[in-house]
Chain A
């Protein structure tokens, strides 16, 4: 059963703590993406990766870090430098980079991050 999985479903962060959100896909997609969704603001791109061992900053990368050591996995770390981390985080993947191609993005179920 192919798809994108995200864990955990809910995550609580204490002040000053780094937390890592997991994203795994078994679709054999090259490109992976992390978005943040806040009420009334739509999806904002945090980081994306078009190939293993390479990634680029999106529109709101400050306070976040990523790695892409395996094709299937693209974890996102929310660092203590991110002062307003409460949001719904969505991971997505596509066969290739979405621009200039017909490859659409498929999303995971999301992780809701809350600050204690």
Chain B
């Protein structure tokens, strides 16, 4: 079993939809959680960073962490075609000096 599981998609939604992207993990020591957005043939860019449990909102993006269920989510409101990209979750904790990445979910938002 991988430490971090992420559905590869593709996830295809119409413009304006609410998008939910998710990752599950197995290591209970994880406490730092990140979401990266990667456009085709580009490097990933950091979207959201969350420490421990709870929600964090930034514009149209909301990150949620549920440590009891070992489950993290990224919500995108009012999705736009420019949101079409691959979204990678990443996490780390006290017992590792590396970031552990999910495989990424490819999102397509059509006009």
Which residues of A are in contact with B by a Cβ distance under 8 Å?
Answer: 4, 6, 40-43, 45, 48, 50, 58, 88, 90, 97-102, 104-110, 112
B46 in complex: contacting residue of A43, A101, A104, CB < 8 Å = A104
A108 to B104, CA, bound (A): 18
Determine if B98 is an interface residue (Cβ-Cβ < 8 Å): yes
A99 and B46 form a contact (CB under 8 A): no
Determine if B60 is an interface residue (Cβ-Cβ < 8 Å): no
Q: Could you give 5 example pairs across A and B, Cβ below 8 Å?
A: A41-B103, A45-B98, A99-B94, A99-B98, A101-B32
Residue of B nearest to A94 (CB): B99
B101 — which chain A residues lie within 8 A by C-beta? 42-43
Interface size class of B (residues with CB under 8 A): 20 to 34
B46 and A106 form a contact (CB under 8 A): yes
A100 and B44 form a contact (CB under 8 A): no
> A99-B99, A102-B49 given. 19 additional CB < 8 A pairs?
A6-B43, A40-B103, A42-B6, A42-B88, A42-B103, A42-B104, A45-B98, A90-B43, A90-B44, A98-B99, A99-B95, A100-B93, A100-B94, A100-B95, A100-B97, A104-B49, A106-B46, A107-B36, A110-B43
Q: How far is the CB of B2 from chain A (nearest CB, A)?
A: 9
A101 to B95, CA, bound (A): 11
Q: A42-B104, A104-B34 are in contact. Are A99 and B41 (CB under 8 A)?
A: no
Q: How far is the CB of A29 from chain B (nearest CB, A)?
A: 13
Determine if B92 is an interface residue (Cβ-Cβ < 8 Å): yes
